[in-house]
Amino acid sequence: MLRHRIYYGLKPFVPRFIRIGIRRWFAIRKREKVSDIWPIMPASERAPDNWLGWPDGKQFALVLTHDVEGKDGLAKCRDLLRLEQEFGFHSSFNFIPEGNYNVPSELRDELVSNGFEVGIHDLKHDGRLFVSRREFSRKATRINRYLRDWNAAGFRSGFMLHKLDWLHELDIQYDASTFDTEPFEPQPEGRHKIFPFWVPAPVVRKSEADSKAANQLPCSTSGRPRAGYVELPYTLPQDFTLFLLLREQTANIWLQKVDWIARHGGMALVNVHPDYLCFDGAVARTTEYPISRYKSFLEYVSRRYKGAFWNKTPREVAQFCACVVNDAAVNEA
């Protein structure tokens, strides 16, 4: 977390490629030390209690997500949409409501009308969402307004920062701000799960004396009772980690891990940023990588696992899992 504070303290004064270079220096030196837990965390393949599998007997779930961080990424959304449509895939695009770009309603409508999903990515993406509980509550009111206006069901914080107990203030069906294992993130503690899991809302008690009578479900800022939400951890390394920090030249790590997830019947969830994709074949910046790497991943999954994977948007996965993982959590308790 100290490196995180230094990194964003430098943000207004240091060019982006230098900031990425600083993170790359730390990541490359850390990689050998974490080889026993990344990209695969042993024991994370354990399925939730009472898990009956994915719909229609599918072997595993494939969930594609995209965080749009700036104007460059916004301009590439339609190209990415068309690429995924070629393979028959659907994904979610998470936009920053109060970032350095405006999200055209026409783009959101186009995504939804084509079977894709629109989600909320932080509020400002400035690394300050969880600075204090009071400040978070104030921002949660604004985030909930965007959730309603965009008819969005899901949330992901900037830089994968997370305080899952605070997110009960948001009117969400799911959050996607965690991971199974990712030691290169500012909050490197993984959830060690390649399956969705339920985050129950804490029980609020009026007093210890009559706790049984006073137990009630917490409410979001809209005032509606809440029982919890589904957490969808990403289980394939982010493109930023692979191609910008670690400078991998192929998608092989993605392919190897999706094979492992498929063997164990889990959820292969990836986060690909359109901002970092180069569609014209000539990568001229250190903050981009060729679209061919993501395309090779899509080709591999669609060919090797044809008919075996369940590709749905995060909203649809969360809706399916809400009953399954919630019931498992209740039975476990």
Residue 92 placed within a domain: yes
Q: How many helical (H) and strand (E) elements, i.e. helices and strands, does the chain have?
A: 11, 11
Residue at 262 is within a domain: yes
Q: What is the pLDDT of residues 188-239, one digit of tens each?
A: 999 999 999 999 998 765 444 343 332 333 344 444 445 899 999 999 999 9
Report the predicted TM-score, pTM, of the whole model to 2 decimal places: 0.89
The answer to whether residue 47 sits within a structural domain is no
Residue 264 lies in a domain: yes
For residue 194, the model assigns a pLDDT of 98
Q: Is 320 helix (H, G, I), strand (E, B) or coil?
A: helix
- Name residues of the chain where pLDDT drops below 70: 1-17, 204-226, 284, 325-333
- The C-alpha atoms of residue 121 and residue 210 are separated, in whole angstroms, by 40
**Number of domain units in the chain:** 1
Assess if residue 77 is contained within a domain. Answer: yes
CATH, residue 162: 3.20.20.370
> What pLDDT score was predicted for residue 283?
74
Domain interval for residue 129? 2-34+60-202+216-332
List, for residues 134-162, the tens digit of each pLDDT value: 999 999 999 999 999 999 999 999 999 99
50, part of any domain: no
In a domain, 54, yes or no: no
C-alpha neighbours within 13 Å on the C-beta side of residue 332: 14
Q: Rounded distance, CA 285 to CA 278, Å?
A: 9
207 located within any domain:
no
Cα–Cα distance, 178 to 224 (Å, whole number):
25
CB of 194 closer than 8 Å to CB of 261: yes
Instruction: Enter the DSSP assignment of 201.
Output: P
- Cα(85)–Cα(90) distance, integer angstroms: 7
pLDDT of amino acid 285: 74
Per this entry, what is the length of the chain? 333
For residues 256 and 260, give the distance between their C-alpha atoms in angstroms, rounded to a whole number: 6
For residue 191, the Cα-to-chain-centroid distance in whole angstroms is 13
Please report the pLDDT score of residue 50 as a whole number.
85
